[in-house]
Each structure stands twice: as structure tokens, then as C-alpha cells.
Structure 1
Amino acid sequence: MRSAHTVAQVRTAEAALLATLPEGTLMQRAATGLAYAVLDLLGGGYGRRVLLLVGSGDNGGDALHAGALLARRGVQVSAWLLGDRAHAGGLAALRNAGGGVVRGADQAAAAAGPDFRPGLPRHVDLVIDGITGIGGRGPLRPDAAALLKRLAGIPVVAVDVPSGIEVDSGEVGGPHVEATLTVTFGTHKVAHLVDPAARACGVVELVDIGLDLPTAPVESLQAADVAALLPRPTPEAQKYSRGVVGVRAGSTRYPGAALLSVSGAACGLAGMVRYVGSAAEVVKQHHPEVVGEGRVQAWVVGSGTDADAADHLQRALADEVPVVIDADALAVPDLQERLDKSGARDGEHAVLTPHAGELAAMLEVERAEIEARPLEHARAAASTYGAVVLLKGRRTLVARPDGRVRVNTTGTPWLATAGAGDVLGGLVGALLAAGLAPFDAASVGAWLHGAAAQAASEGGPIVAGDIAHHVPPVLRDLLRG
């Protein structure tokens, strides 16, 4: 499990560890990990040129101490100080190792002319961002933003987090660092996993510095976690005991939605798939194993149901089994009231699977608001509707009503294709029917869906049906270990 902790949790853990260590030990651990990550990215030290952008806090200290280590490995290192002060020990270490420092009036003179690097190498291979760190708030100051603009095109390694992003929310409110690599310490932070900030982090490398941390509010399943959660048939299993998933999807106008939803459900995780809707003939042509209406352990409802969405939703809720609510069913005007009356509004019986536009309508906000603050709005929707909310996106979020969140990191940009969400809904429904709780079913379903898309794509375009076809091979690989 990849855990993402808040700033307060990290600060508390750091304070507890610092009390047991000699002064400066924690910073040296962080700086050493940072320096080796930079050397790995550069492919060596001798002849390379690195520029440190240094703020006044401990983040700048990490960068300066790392710069000293790099200088001792043959790297030409210069530090550009963005404040009136900098970490004294780090400055001394860098100077003792032969590094250069530019500050104060030198910066003002540099900014005035076409050559903005007096005392610095004219060619820079890599920039280390040590401007703010996890204690920073708000966007970059104008001077830092202007300097970074002049350094555009040079790879940036961020220390802990890219400066200018909001660490605990994953939001971005203005100018910020766009890193090629982020080297973080002790644990991942929320911004490393949650968009839009996660996009600014580039590749994230974690350096263990020995922190003892509590349970994280945000986490991300890894392959081993998914494998451990997958339902497996017992030796005495039969098709009913393995779970029956029902699909209410499609319409005369959108028969393909029924086929794709069933394709996701018919991945082999449940013992039987039932289909109810107007596209039965299309479904049977492609899935002769699918049967008609009857008792189920979970329903998937909404994809392509058009004008029949409210009726399908009501019938699914009446069975008092877990239900995946997608697409047209999310737009039913009294959805919240229907969940209340059915008893499904308890966080344990419903999974809602909106994309940003659908969630915007559900919460009566603009789509841009959802995209700017997806974590906040996914949590708000889960609390409002009393259900697990799977907010689809580049980094899909799965939120519980109590605020706990999982972030899915599998997938490919090619996954943004019509019908992919229908497959996902069916897949989550199969996991529900097989016995997983809604939070686990949604999290595992999102992971499998993204992994199948990656397998299907191999770097090229895909259509939704390709995703469904690649779910069983992904499952086999996981089950084999």
C-alpha cells in the first residue's frame, strides 16, 4: 500500500524522531537520498552542472547539503538564494565543497540583464527546487516564478514536493514548479497522488528516513494489495456462491452501453451475470453465458439507460443489495432521496461512478471546480450521498463518507475513450457480487480497469471493448503472483 500523509502527520513524526537523533541527522539522511537520486538521473557526476534554487527553510537546507554531496562527486554546483537568509549549515557545507552562491544584490543585477546567471554556470544540466517544501502555502512568489520561466526546458528535481502546490489537497492555485522528478522523504504526501498537483510532481521517488507514521487518510493500492483483495473460489464453490451480478444498462438508443457493461461484469470474478434491459439480443450474441432476470448479489445500473434510468434505478434499489450507479442513473433528480429511502445511503451499499461533469451536476458546481479540487469534491459527494464515490479521471479517486480516500495510479491517456466507464461499472459490480465491500470493490475495480487498459494499449490507441478483453489476463497474472 502506498500511503500519503498530511503535513501535520509528517511534522509530528519528524519531531518524535528528531528527539532521538543527533542534530542534523535527519537532514543528512534526506540530503543523501536526494543527491543519489540526482546522480542517477544525471547518469553520473563529473562534468555535470547543477543549479540549486534555495528558499529560507529546511527544504533549502536539504538542497544545499545535497549540493555539497554532489560537488564532492565532481558536479559543478551553484546555489541561487531566493530569500534574505538560508540554512547556515547547508551554506557552509556547499561552500566547503567548492560550490558557488549567488544572493541579494547579485540577483537584482542578474535579473536586469540578458545574462541572468552571473557567478553561475552558463549551461545548466539540472535544477534542484528547494524553494518552499511541505511548509509552503500558495503559489510561487513573482521573483521565483520569473526565474523558473527563464530556466524553462531544464529538468527540475523537486525536494519533497514541487514548490507552489498545495500539499494536503493536491490543488494548484497559481505559478508552481513542474518537476521531472520529485524526491520525497519518509512518506508520500497527498499532493504526490492527487491531481492536479500530482501532474506537477513527475516521477516520485521515496527516501526512507525512519519516520513512524499513523494511518494515512489517502492511500493507493499496489499490485500486491489488489492480489490480496481479489475474491477466489473455494474448492466447493458453485456459480451462485461465487456471486451473481445483475446489469441494468442500455436502451434502444444506446445498445452498446449494455454490451460494454456486461463485458465488464463478465470478467470471471462473479459466478453468473444477469442482464435486464432492451438490448438482450445484442448481449446474448456476444455473451451467450449471460442469463435474464433473477436473484442477484449486486446490481450495475445506469449506463445508456436513457429515459428508463429512473425505473431501472428504482428496481435495482428495491432488491436491497449493493448497487453500482453510473451514467444516466446519476442524473436521476431525486437520487439522494432514493438512496435514503432504500437504506443504501450508509456507505456500505452503493458505489457512484461519476466523471467530473456528472459530479459537477450532482453537487451543483461548475466542472472546472471539480477538476481544480477533485479530492475536496469527491469527499463532499461521498458525505452528501452516503455512498462510496468513484470520481473518474487521470488519477481516479475512490472516497468513503468518512473521508478516507484511495487514489488509482494505473491507466493510460488512451483510456479516455467512449464506453470505458461502462466496462468499469460492470467490473466493480462483479467484485461487489463476489463479496468485496464497496470501498474495496471500487478501488480494486479501478486498478484492474487501468491495468487492463495499459495491457491493451501497449502505447497505442484502444477502444472500450479492448479493456474488457484484457481484464482476465491481468487477473491471471495477479493470481499467479
Structure 2
Amino acid sequence: MRSAYTVEAVRHAEAQLMARLPEGALMQRAAAGLAAACARVLGRVYGARVVLLVGSGANGGDALFAGARLARRGAGVTAVPLAPGRTHPAGLAALLKAGGAVAEDPFDALAGADLVVDGITGIGGHGGLRPDAVPLARAARGSNAVVVAVDLPSGVEADTGEVPGEALRADLTVTFGTHKPALLVDPAREYAGAVHLVDIGLGGELPSVPALEALQHADVARMLPLPAAESDKYRRGVVGVVAGSARYPGAAVLAVAGALRGGAGAVRYVGPGAAAVIARFPECLVSTGRPGEAGRVQSWVVGPGIGEMREGVREVLASDVPVLVDADGLRLLEASEVRDRTAPTLLTPHAGEAAALLGCAREEVEAGRLAAARELAARYGATVLLKGSTTLVAAPDGGRSPVRVNPMGTPWLATAGSGDVLSGLAGSLLAAGLGARDAGSAAAYLHGLAARLASARGVPLTAQEVAAALPAAWRGVRDPHGDEPPEPDRP
């Protein structure tokens, strides 16, 4: 599992560690890791042209000391101080002693660079790049150089993942001690490029509970339900699905497809899409009546494609089993119906639906996804799975548990019906006994991995193909010798 900590927690941990180390030792650890990462990017250090964009903080010091190490290996290293009177003195002295220089013409240096080190701002930066840094950032990105960010891309907000102004997009971010939330949450994550974590010894000083966590294969494998020898379909759990309408019968089929592959023992479908569902999935139990007349279930999924089926949403929310609400169901629910429930509730909005629930503009949600997920969970007293380029799962516990960030997925998942498959899958995991936070997190992970597998050659996919790839995704996370999948192709 990858964990991310707030600026406050990181600074406290650094202070505790620095109190026990010789002066400057922690910066030297960071600089050594940064220089090694830059050398790997360059391949051949001797003769390479490296430009350091140096701010006034510790990030600038890290960049300067790393530049000194590269200069001693034969690189031509040039520093561009953005605050000449406040440049880290020891770092600058080390660079000059190693044969580095200060740029006479920063733009000329950037135009000929093989690698640019972004040490402008670190975890303390706020409000985007300052005006004097913007032309340099644009020149760096306009060159042919590889851009390596020190700890964080300059211009992003470390704790929230927001990008309030201009920021310098990196090809690689070398971060120290632990991940920061901005490296896991969009839109900032898109500015980080690949992320390399350098261990500088902070582990023992960090809090036991991080701000965010990103699951990996082994974490999801531990969550997935496995039938025991005495299991039957009812002990494994029965999920009820209220989805689809005369206009959107496909939503019913896709939600049931996800549910059948989620580990529950049986699926009961309720709604006007019964004929379409039974034609595609004869193992599904179908009903055209009310949800309460369908028979016993251990969880409900309600909402995909239901149109104006308000009474169905109300009846499901009044039940005493876990409920997942998606799509049209989110539009039809009342906040009090969710807050008054005693059983777990999982809401699965995309940005537009989240904006409607919060009463704000979609752009606000997209710019501040982490804040939106936390606010929704607090306001509705429910676990929230906020779908998007990075899926977030937030529990309604006031921050006592970390928000989970789903590292899987691919932009090809932005296709009609994929959310219906996710809803059925997560609802099935609820029926199998997982809590709302685990069910949402594991479902998002499997869903994203299935999409990667289905689009492995960089081709478009359909929601049906995502559902069909779920068994392979399930096998993949349970294989202790399986490799983590590669990053997805970008369309």
C-alpha cells in the first residue's frame, strides 16, 4: 500500500529526524536520491547539459546539492536562481566548487538543456507559480529537456491536489520520505509524471494514519471474499439490483454483469429490464414488482438507468441492508434518507453528480476532488466513491480513516455503461460482507484493472468488455507472483 501524508505531518517528521542527525544530513540524503534518479534518466551523465531552476526554499537546496553531484560526474550544470539573494548558500557553494555555474542567460541555457531540475517550490508552495517563474517554466516545457521535479511539481497544492494557477508539468517527480496527496490525486497527479520515492528515513516519524492511501494488488487480494467448503449461494450473499428502464434497458444488463462477477452467491434483479437481463444472464433471479417483494438480499444496488423510479429508491433506502446508490438514484434521493440509515450506504457519483449533491459547479468538484469527496461523505453520512481520472473513496468518519485513491484505470474507461458495471461489482462485494469503504475501494481497483487488461493494446473498449475482463482482474490480484500492470496507454 502506498501512503501519502500532509505537509504538517511531513514537516513534523523531518524536524524529529533532523534533531537526531548531523546538520544537513537529511538534505544530503534527498540530494543523493535525486542525483541518482537524474543520472538514470540521462543514461550518460558525462557531457550532459543540466539546468537547475532554483527557488529559495529547501527544494532549491536539494536541487543544488544534486547538481553538484552530477557536475562531479562530468555533467555541465547551470543554476538559474529565482531569488538570487535567498538562494541556499551551502548548496550554491557546493555547485560552484564542483564546476557548476550560474546562468547568464536562463532562456539560452534552457533551450539547450538535456534535463531540467524543477526546484522552484516544494511542499510549502501555494497559489501556483509566481509571475517571474512562469516564463522559465514555459521555456523548460518548450525545450526538448526531460523535466524532473524535486518532491512535487512546482505550482501544485501538496495537501489537496489542486492546481490553482500555472504549474510546471514534470516527466518524473522524485519525492522524499513519503508520497504527498498531490502525487496521487488529480488534477495535480497529471503534472507529476512518473513518481519515484526516495527513502530518507522518515518512516518511523510519520503518524500511524496517513491522509491518503492507494491500494496495491496484495491489499485488494486480502479483501476479496472466498467461499468456504460449507458455503452456499445465500451464505455467500445475495445482491439486489434495481436498474434500467424502458429507455435504458442496457443499464440493467451491465449492472447485473458487474454484480455476477463480484463474489456474491446470487443476484436478484428488479425492474422493467427483466426480459433483457434474463436473456443475457439466465442465472439471474428476476422480478418486475417492488424491491421489497423480490426476496431476501444482503445488499441493494439502485439507480443506474432507472429514470424517475423515485419509490424504488425510497424503498431501498428504507431497508436495513447495505445500499449502493448510483446515477439516477443520486438525483432522486433525499439527504435525510441517507443520513437516517443505520446500515452502510455507498454513494458513487461522477463529478457532475457530486456537484449536484453539493450544490456547486462541476468545475469546483473537478478542481478540488479531495475536498469534494470528504464534504460529500460528511454531509450525507455515507461512504462516497467519487469517480473520475482518480477515483476517491471517503468514509463518513471525520478523517479518522485515510481517503483511498484508486491507482488503476485508464482514460478508455470514460465510456457509456462502465459506471453501471462498477456499481454492480461494488454492490456484490457489499453483499459478500465487505464494508462500504472496502467494497468501493476493491471494486474500483478491479474495475480499473479490468479496463487496463481489456485495452492492453491501446484500443477503445466497451463496458461489456470491462465486465468480461473482471475474472482476469480478479485472478491477477490474487496471484502472489503476478506483476503490477503497466501504466495504461493514453488515447
TM range (shorter): over 0.9
State the distance in 2 between where 1:204 and 1:121 align. Answer: 23
State the distance in 2 between where 1:147 and 1:480 align. Answer: 47
Question: Match for 1:28: what amino acid?
Answer: Q
State the distance in 1 between where 2:101 and 2:379 align. Answer: 55
Contact 1:352–1:389 (8 Å) recurs in 2 = yes
- Deviation at residue 122 of structure 1 after TM alignment: 5.6
Aligned to 2:95: 94
State the distance in 2 between where 1:480 and 1:176 align. Answer: 39
Aligned to 1:428: 426
Query: What per-residue deviation string (whole Å, max 9, x for no partner) do you get for residues 224-243 of structure 1?
Result: 11111111112221111111
- Deviation at residue 121 of structure 1 after TM alignment: 7.4
Contact 1:49–1:121 (8 Å) recurs in 2 = no
Contact 2:253–2:276 (8 Å) recurs in 1 = yes
Question: Match for 1:418: what amino acid?
Answer: A
- Deviation at residue 150 of structure 1 after TM alignment: 2.1
Unaligned runs of 5+ in 2: 287-293, 481-491
Aligned to 1:300: 301
Aligned to 2:487: none
Change (3 A) 1:121 1:425: closer
- Deviation at residue 400 of structure 1 after TM alignment: 1.1
Aligned to 1:262: 256
Contact 1:258–1:283 (8 Å) recurs in 2 = yes
Superposition pairs for residues 119-198 of structure 1, below 5 Å?
120=109, 123-151=112-140, 152-153=142-143, 154-198=145-189
Superposition pairs for residues 52-451 of structure 1, below 5 Å?
52-83=52-83, 84-102=85-103, 106=104, 110=105, 116-117=107-108, 120=109, 123-151=112-140, 152-153=142-143, 154-211=145-202, 212=204, 213-214=206-207, 215-292=209-286, 293-308=294-309, 310-332=310-332, 334-344=333-343, 349-401=344-396, 402-403=398-399, 404-451=402-449
State the distance in 1 between where 2:341 and 2:111 align. Answer: 68
Contact 1:423–1:468 (8 Å) recurs in 2 = yes
Question: Match for 1:235: what amino acid?
Answer: A
Aligned to 2:290: none
Q: Does 1:465 align with 2:454?
A: no
Partner SS state of residue 245, structure 1: strand
Question: Match for 1:361: what amino acid?
Answer: A
Question: Match for 1:246: what amino acid?
Answer: G
Aligned to 2:488: none
Change (3 A) 1:394 1:386: same
State the distance in 1 between where 2:339 and 2:358 align. Answer: 17
Query: What per-residue deviation string (whole Å, max 9, x for no partner) do you get for residues 213-265 of structure 1?
Result: 11102111111111111111122211111111110000111000000000000
Structure 2 length-normalised TM: 0.92
Percent of residue pairs identical: 57
Change (3 A) 1:53 1:341: closer
Contact 2:4–2:213 (8 Å) recurs in 1 = yes
- Deviation at residue 147 of structure 1 after TM alignment: 1.3
Partner SS state of residue 227, structure 1: helix
State the distance in 1 between where 2:26 and 2:313 align. Answer: 55
State the distance in 2 between where 1:467 and 1:121 align. Answer: 44
Question: Match for 1:478: what amino acid?
Answer: V
Partner SS state of residue 201, structure 2: coil
Query: What per-residue deviation string (whole Å, max 9, x for no partner) do you get for residues 77-118 of structure 1?
Result: 11011102211111111111111113xxx5xxx47xxxx33x
Query: What per-residue deviation string (whole Å, max 9, x for no partner) do you get for residues 348-383 of structure 1?
Result: x10000000111111110111111111111111110
Change (3 A) 1:387 1:121: closer
Contact 1:268–1:472 (8 Å) recurs in 2 = no
Query: What per-residue deviation string (whole Å, max 9, x for no partner) do you get for residues 374-427 of structure 1?
Result: 111111111000001111000011111123311111011100000000000001
Contact 2:373–2:393 (8 Å) recurs in 1 = yes
Change (3 A) 1:122 1:272: closer
- Deviation at residue 268 of structure 1 after TM alignment: 4.9
Contact 2:111–2:139 (8 Å) recurs in 1 = no
State the distance in 2 between where 1:324 and 1:229 align. Answer: 18
Aligned to 2:17: 17
Contact 1:3–1:218 (8 Å) recurs in 2 = yes
Question: Match for 1:364: what amino acid?
Answer: G
Query: What per-residue deviation string (whole Å, max 9, x for no partner) do you get for residues 170-219 of structure 1?
Result: 11111111111100000000100111111111111100001021110211
Unaligned runs of 5+ in 1: none
State the distance in 2 between where 1:121 and 1:370 align. Answer: 36
State the distance in 1 between where 2:167 and 2:475 align. Answer: 42
Contact 1:243–1:434 (8 Å) recurs in 2 = yes
> How many residue pairs get matched?
463
Question: Match for 1:468: what amino acid?
Answer: A
Change (3 A) 1:343 1:75: same
Q: Does 1:44 align with 2:44?
A: yes
Question: Match for 2:464: what amino acid?
Answer: G
Change (3 A) 1:219 1:170: same
Structure 1 length-normalised TM: 0.94
Question: Match for 1:254: what amino acid?
Answer: Y
State the distance in 2 between where 1:268 and 1:251 align. Answer: 23
State the distance in 1 between where 2:221 and 2:40 align. Answer: 31
State the distance in 2 between where 1:135 and 1:235 align. Answer: 55
State the distance in 2 between where 1:453 and 1:80 align. Answer: 43
Change (3 A) 1:122 1:301: closer
Change (3 A) 1:9 1:88: same
State the distance in 1 between where 2:377 and 2:57 align. Answer: 37
- Deviation at residue 72 of structure 1 after TM alignment: 1.5
Contact 2:217–2:478 (8 Å) recurs in 1 = no
Partner SS state of residue 133, structure 2: helix
State the distance in 2 between where 1:70 and 1:198 align. Answer: 27
State the distance in 2 between where 1:443 and 1:132 align. Answer: 33
